[in-house]
């Protein structure tokens, strides 16, 4: 995959320009420093599944979406494949919560230290409960945020689940 450099020219994607420092430190602390060299930067934002998949050249289902919720006011991160829709009721039941809402930008930043659309699976400011939908296991590699809206990195789903401290669940909305 090639990316565009700051001058508008193409360069090999091995050059990393845009990894969030906290996320880079989290990778090192987890013994995943080699991942830093696999981070890909895009000249335009890659906040949506479609933007990221187009920039990488992969299927939308290979994008790991990071969705942030508040379950009875407690932050929770849900990771699932980019082609899926989260079943809010499934998440609520999985958590045993009375009320589940999408988290606002303030709660996302306060809990993770990253902005909406840029939340990586680990390296957050606070200990965040993570639910990982089983749909990610259908891929050898998934791409997820590296802490900015311009960067992603590849990882095999089992490693992602292990390092995020995620609980494997079925929260993908059934296809009608």
CA proximity to 36, closest of 147, 113, 165: 147
- Residue 153 contacts by C-beta under 8 Å, 6 or more apart in sequence? 35, 38, 39, 40, 143, 144, 146
- Give every residue of the chain whose pLDDT is below 70, as ranges: 1-18, 46-47, 176
The confidence score (pLDDT) of residue 150 equals 85
- Residue 94 contacts by C-beta under 8 Å, 6 or more apart in sequence? 131, 169, 171
85-135 confidence digits (pLDDT tens): 999 999 999 999 999 999 999 999 999 999 988 899 999 999 999 999 999
The confidence score (pLDDT) of residue 12 equals 37
The confidence score (pLDDT) of residue 151 equals 87
The confidence score (pLDDT) of residue 7 equals 39
């Amino acid at each position: 995959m090639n990316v565009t450099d700051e001058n508008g020219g193409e360069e090999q994607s091995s050059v990393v320009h845009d990894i969030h420092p906290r996320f880079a430190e989290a990778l090192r602390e987890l013994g995943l420093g080699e991942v830093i060299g696999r981070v890909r930067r895009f000249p335009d934002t890659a906040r949506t599944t479609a933007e990221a998949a187009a920039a990488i050249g992969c299927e939308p289902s290979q994008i790991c979406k990071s969705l942030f919720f508040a379950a009875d006011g407690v932050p929770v991160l849900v990771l699932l494949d980019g082609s899926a829709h989260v079943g809010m009721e499934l998440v609520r039941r999985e958590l045993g919560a009375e009320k589940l809402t999408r988290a606002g930008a303030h709660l996302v930043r306060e809990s993770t230290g990253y902005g909406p659309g840029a939340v990586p699976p680990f390296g957050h400011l606070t200990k965040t409960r993570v639910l990982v939908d089983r749909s990610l296991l259908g891929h050898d590699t998934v791409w997820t945020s590296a802490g900015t809206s311009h960067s992603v990195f590849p990882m095999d789903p089992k490693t992602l689940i292990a390092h995020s401290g995620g609980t494997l669940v079925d929260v993908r909305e059934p296809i009608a």
